[in-house]
Amino acid sequence: MMSRILFVFFLFLSLISCDSASKREKEIEKIPLDFKIVRFDKLFAEASPQSLPQLKEDYPYLFPKQFADSVWINKMKDTIQLEINREVAKKYPDFSETEDEFYSLFQHVKYYFPEFAVPDVLTITSEVDYKNKTIYTGDYLFVSLDTYLGEDHKFYIGIVEYFKRNFTKDQIVPDAANSIAEKYVPRAKARTFLANMIYYGKLLYLKDIWLPKQSKWRKIGYTQEQWEFAENNEEMVWRYFVDNELIFDTDSNLAPRFLYPAPFSKFYLSLDAETPDRLGQYIGWQMVKSYMDKNEVSIKQMLNTDAEIIFNNANYKPKK
């Protein structure tokens, strides 16, 4: 009898939560926005030495003054740049679908952070600078389209697989959301593994609420299989962290083992090769979610809350 009552109670809570989320999404859909998508990659590809002065006048922030015009003219003629132009034009003849995704992303950021100034989005090429795929400055959001041509593209030969798997079109908006989130999440003050886990957890929490229609694995940059491993082994991962007293450890090697992109997470166990990388980020995300579910705090308060306070009040219990 008691189990039936509990089932009905939790079903009731679930229905209330779903109804609340639906109302919130309807409110978000009404938020008006005014921004532009500028295909600067196309503008530069079609430019000539004669039209360069006008291009520089229109987009001065893309032409650092320390570089002479000859640098840009030579780039226009460069065979590698010309090939990049062709490949990007072939992959992205139209950008309207991604523009709609940006519109939704910006609406969600604006809803949770009303002071957010919606940036113009400029698509560029960067000679495959995959360490800076998206850059958010406040006024502008830059997207390097030559880093989103598909993981098997010939330009990416020699780049490690764990980077290449996210060189895809459907990763553009999650990457952009991460660049924006970095402006709102203070860097970890402490050097502990916990502080850094919570830092990434806060970033992922923002991406989660800003991109409700995106798959969970895209938000963290996993494949679906990697996500399923993380979900199915959450308790094992957390137990390893606790049993090996890593939570408050300040060892700098913990970041490359569990927080940074890598072929896999490094438990120094035989199963390592089967694990996804960045499992510390995943645990930090779940901890922040637990904290927000169980405490009456605003998102802005959470973002400025110390990692240990979040840890102590999250009552985090990993899935079994």
DSSP state of 31: -
> Residues with Cβ < 8 Å from 87, sequence gap 6 or more?
146, 149, 153, 155
Q: What pLDDT, on the 0 to 100 scale, is given for residue 10?
A: 43
Q: What band does 138 get if pLDDT is binned at 50, 70 and 90? A: very high
- What span, in angstroms and rounded, lies between the C-alpha atoms of 264 and 216? 19
The single residue listed with the structure tokens 């996993």 is 222
In the chain, the amino acid numbered 153 is H
pLDDT in tens, 58-77: 999 999 999 999 999 999 99
Question: Is the CB of residue 208 less than 8 Å from the CB of residue 285?
Answer: yes
- What span, in angstroms and rounded, lies between the C-alpha atoms of 247 and 193? 6
- H-helix or E-strand containing 142? strand 140-144
Per the structure block, which two tokens stand in for 312? 């102590």
Residue of higher predicted confidence among 3 and 43: 43
pLDDT in tens, 171-217: 999 999 999 999 999 999 999 999 999 999 999 999 999 999 999 99
Backbone dihedral angles phi then psi of residue 310, each to the nearest 5 degrees = -60, -45
Q: Residue 133 CA to chain centroid, in angstroms?
A: 11
Q: What band does 22 get if pLDDT is binned at 50, 70 and 90? A: confident
- What span, in angstroms and rounded, lies between the C-alpha atoms of 209 and 78? 43
Q: What band does 15 get if pLDDT is binned at 50, 70 and 90? A: very low
Q: Please choose, from the candidates 13, 50, 18, the residue with its C-alpha nearest in 3D space to the C-alpha of residue 212.
A: 18
